[in-house]
Structure 1
Amino acid sequence: MNEQEESRPRVRVAVVFGGRNSEHAVSLMGAGSVLAALDRSKYDVVPIGIAPDGRWVLASENQRFEIEGGELPVVDDSGAALALPSGSGSLVALDSGRIPESLGQVDVVFPMLHGAYGEDGTIQGLLEMAGVPYVGSGVLASAVGMDKAYMKAVLAAAGLPVGPYVVVRDRDWRLERERVLKDVEELGWPVFVKPSRAGSSQGISRVDGAEGLEQAIEFARTHDPKVLVEAAIEGREVECAVLESLGDEPPAASLPGEVLYGDHEYFDFNAKYVPDEMRLQVPADIPVAVSEELRQMAVRAFEALGCEGLSRVDFFYTPSGSLIVNEINTMPGFTSLSVAPQLWAATGLSYAELVERLIQLALARPAGLR
């Protein structure tokens, strides 16, 4: 590093992780990878944990970020409590019994959060109000991408094929249960029952007949009062990552990869996050024309929601040769071994380069309406 580079102030990056939802541990696993990948010669890194009860704390990079002995990681909430006042862009420490102390300006936030109160537009709205640039999609795209019912409506309106589904809203389930069960039965069996606003395969059940349906819906409702029931689609699971381009170029799509999850009935939590439970074949063994069509559809899905930064789009490739969009994730799993980073690594962009690109995209993007 030359003298000019040494004198240049480092960009201050706050990596936010944890959160008060069932994907708390998944967030920590991704944050550990991001923290390890950040170039400390360029970035001044501030780790911020959101405890399960919603408190923001100044975290330690020495805390546990991985699953160990079957135990999921949790934010160590012993650090100073933090606040990010609206319009200030500065972190404030709120130690009990002391005058609030400013910890200085944050240049960009990397919200390594999944699920409700993080991936759903809530923290994005907070950061917009604080005037702080951040990695990933904005408020609307994040909210739509989190709610599978609205996501499918938007994708279908954009002309993209989605599978049959039924939305089970809280009021309908409480007051019109028989009608809801009949609507679901018309989808045929089996079906997949899942929370409408959750990820990482939390709260999902496969149901093969009417006798297990109510229990599966009640289980999904422990995560979200709004539930989505999808007809099972026969096909291979093929995924594609999309990355916003610097400048005015259109978004770029990675090579598609096929998810192979062995003895698992579907791509569940263990298949996603326990080492050696899942294998990703990149590029997917599909015809070249199908691969190209899939990549184009992935970009269309990204643009239909108005996504920014990075997304992962999941497809079914059916025996008839057609493609069906399953869902889009605006903040996909982000450990170095997660699907989206692996897809980009196979396409020629390493994990560290991907993290760098996302930060540069966030810094180049103006806050507010755009």
Structure 2
Amino acid sequence: MSESLKVLVLGGGPDRERPVSLKSAAAVAAALRRAGHEVIEADISPDRPETLDTPCDVVFPVLHGRFGEGGPLQRMMDTRKLKYVGARSRAAAAAMDKYISKQKAEAAGVPTAAYQLLGPNTPITLDAPMVIKALTEGSSFGMAICPTMDEAVKARAQMLANFSFQMAERFIKGREITVGIVERDVLPAIQIVPAVEYYDYEAKYNRNDTRYEFDIDLPAETMNQIRADALKVYDAIGCRHLGRVDFIIDETGRHWFLEINTMPGFTDHSLLPMAANKAGMDMAALCDRLIRLALKDGDSR
């Protein structure tokens, strides 16, 4: 039997995804206890860095949003030379920034819809329909689907109060497919079928009528390419341990990169644990594998 470890599981944080993070962290803590580990649960925020001084073998930061997933927390852990699950600070920041992540995907040869970085005074040059997105928000926060240019201009003006820089992206109508990765093992893809028009925050975390399907009606060649492209994005960003890559499949069957998450959710609605379970790895085994990867990487630094 593998040795028992002392694991500091971090949750909460200051970002809008805090409620989801708390649920994810509680689920990870319970899974690690089932796997035989000693678990310390703690809330973390920028003004409580002393939380990271808690003695432990490895840290599992189950946070979503700019502070916990986008680089600042990772820099704090690196400064303390902690062993932790997930991307290091540079990769975390690149994945959180929608514009940078699309640039890296495009450079890796992965199809991505036309996009444009918008500063406060940049004119929109994309044609409608389009999506206006805050650069560093997640969970469908800071996003507006705009069928017309007038709606895009209005959405952008409303977002400027909170987000100086945004990204415009060509809207593609189609099916959303997500691909989870653990270490560099690509997990079974999942097609997301919301009961509402768009897969928004409510559909992701609160509704129980969203369907998640492993039996995807696409040619094997297409599915293989999607899985290969997910790994290309994961590597281009510089991820480690885990990630989830989202694609949209248009009406012709072509796939387009949407975004990558370096710390996907771990709630009962979350897709990475669902895909891992399909591959024969239950939640306890998944979380155990992740902390041992972090321990190994920390020892090799």
When normalised by structure 2's length, the TM-score is: 0.93
Partner residue of 2:227 out of 267, 275, 295: 295
Q: Distance in 2 between matches of 1:361 and 1:223?
A: 37
Partner residue of 1:156 out of 106, 112, 119: 106
Matched-pair identity in %:
33
- Alpha carbons of structure 1 residues 41 and 192: separation in structure 2 relative to 1, 3 Å: closer
The alignment status of 1:279 with 2:230, answered yes or no, reads no
The alignment status of 1:233 with 2:172, answered yes or no, reads yes
Matched-pair contact (CA < 8 Å) for 1:198–1:224: no
Aligned position for 1:67 = none
196-205 or 212-221, which deviates more:
212-221
Aligned position for 1:211 = 150
- Alpha carbons of structure 1 residues 345 and 83: separation in structure 2 relative to 1, 3 Å: closer
Q: SS state of the match for residue 242, structure 1?
A: strand
Partner residue of 1:26 out of 20, 30, 45: 20
When normalised by structure 1's length, the TM-score is: 0.76
Structure 1 residues 131-157: Cα deviation after superposition (integer angstroms, max 9, x where no partner): 110001111111100001001111111
Q: Distance in 2 between matches of 1:359 and 1:320?
A: 41
Letter in 2 for 1:154: K
Q: Kindly tell me the number of residue pairs found equivalent between the two proteins.
A: 301
Residue 222 of structure 1 deviates from its aligned partner by: 5.1
- Alpha carbons of structure 1 residues 220 and 267: separation in structure 2 relative to 1, 3 Å: farther
Q: Distance in 1 between matches of 2:160 and 2:186?
A: 34
Residue 310 of structure 1 deviates from its aligned partner by: 0.8
Partner residue of 2:275 out of 338, 343, 349: 343
- Alpha carbons of structure 1 residues 222 and 364: separation in structure 2 relative to 1, 3 Å: farther
Residue 205 of structure 1 deviates from its aligned partner by: 1.2
Give the helix-richer structure, 1 or 2. 2
Q: SS state of the match for residue 39, structure 1?
A: helix
Cα root mean square deviation, aligned: 2.1
Q: SS state of the match for residue 159, structure 1?
A: coil
Runs of 4 or more above 6 Å deviation: none
Question: Based on CA coordinates, which of the two structures has the bigger radius of gyration?
Answer: 1
The alignment status of 1:198 with 2:137, answered yes or no, reads yes
Structure 1, unpaired ranges of 5+: 57-80, 85-89, 92-104, 245-250
Letter in 1 for 2:89: V
Partner residue of 2:123 out of 180, 204, 210: 180
Aligned position for 1:306 = 238
Matched-pair contact (CA < 8 Å) for 1:132–1:367: no
Letter in 1 for 2:84: Y
Aligned position for 1:96 = none
Q: Distance in 2 between matches of 1:302 and 1:337?
A: 22
Letter in 2 for 1:143: A
Matched-pair contact (CA < 8 Å) for 1:197–1:226: no
